[in-house]
Structure 1
Amino acid sequence: MRSEVLDLLISWVVLSFSFAVFMSSSLERLPLSIAYSSVGVGSAFILHELAHRQVAKAYDLEARYRAWYLGLLVTLAIALINAAVKLPILFAAPGAVVIYGYWGHVNPIAELRVAESGPLTNIAVGVATWVILLAIPPTPILTDMLYYVMRINSWIAFFNLLPLPPLDGFKILKRSPIEWVLMFIVSLVVMRLAI
Structure 2
Amino acid sequence: MGLISLLQVSPLAFAITALALVLSLTVHEFAHAYAADRLGDRTPRSYGRVTLNPLKHLDPLGTLLLLFVGFGFARPVPINPRNLGRWGTLWATAAGPLSNLLIALVCAALIAFVPVSTLFGVVLSTVLSINVVLAVFNLLPIPLLDGSRILGSLVPSLGRSLAQFEAQPFSFLIVMVFIYALSGQIGSLIGQVQRWVLGLVGA
Task: Tell me the residue number matched to 1:9.
Answer: none
Q: Verify the 8 A CA contact 2:29 2:57 in the aligned structure 1.
A: no
5+ residue gaps, structure 1, are: 1-17, 79-89, 178-185
Which residue of 136, 140, 165 maps to 2:143? 165
Q: Verify the 8 A CA contact 1:39 1:149 in the aligned structure 2.
A: no
Q: 1:142 to 1:193 in 2, by over 3 A?
A: farther
| Pair 1:32-2:35 in alignment | no
Structure 2 distance, partners of 1:105, 1:128, is: 32
Alpha-carbon shift at residue 106 of structure 1 (Å): 4.1
Higher relative contact order (CA 8 A, sep 6+): 1
Q: Verify the 8 A CA contact 1:43 1:153 in the aligned structure 2.
A: no
> What count of residue pairs does the alignment treat as equivalent?
154
Q: Verify the 8 A CA contact 1:158 1:191 in the aligned structure 2.
A: no
The C-alpha deviation readout for 1:149-186, integer Å capped at 9, x for no partner, is 00100011111111112211001122348xxxxxxxx9
| Pair 1:51-2:31 in alignment | yes
Runs of 4+ deviating beyond 6 Å: none
Structure 1 distance, partners of 2:60, 2:79, is: 19
| Pair 1:108-2:86 in alignment | yes
RMSD: 3.0
Question: TM-score, length-normalised on structure 1?
Answer: 0.66
Quote the sequence identity (%). Answer: 26
The C-alpha deviation readout for 1:93-123, integer Å capped at 9, x for no partner, is 232111136xx55411111001110111111
5+ residue gaps, structure 2, are: 50-55, 156-188, 199-203
Q: 1:42 to 1:76 in 2, by over 3 A?
A: closer
Task: Tell me the residue number matched to 2:195.
Answer: 192
SS of the equivalent of 1:95 reads: coil
Alpha-carbon shift at residue 59 of structure 1 (Å): 1.4
The residue type paired with residue 50 of structure 1 is F
The C-alpha deviation readout for 1:69-115, integer Å capped at 9, x for no partner, is 4444444442xxxxxxxxxxx311232111136xx554111110011
Q: Verify the 8 A CA contact 2:40 2:84 in the aligned structure 1.
A: no
Q: Verify the 8 A CA contact 2:39 2:84 in the aligned structure 1.
A: no
Q: 1:158 to 1:48 in 2, by over 3 A?
A: same
Alpha-carbon shift at residue 128 of structure 1 (Å): 1.1
Q: Verify the 8 A CA contact 1:48 1:118 in the aligned structure 2.
A: yes
Structure 1 distance, partners of 2:84, 2:111, is: 40
* Alignment of structure 1 residues 2-151 onto 2, 5 Å: 18=2, 20-21=3-4, 24=6, 27-29=8-10, 31-61=11-41, 62-63=43-44, 64=49, 67-78=58-69, 90-100=70-80, 105-151=83-129
Alpha-carbon shift at residue 148 of structure 1 (Å): 0.6
Q: Verify the 8 A CA contact 1:49 1:118 in the aligned structure 2.
A: yes
Alpha-carbon shift at residue 67 of structure 1 (Å): 4.9
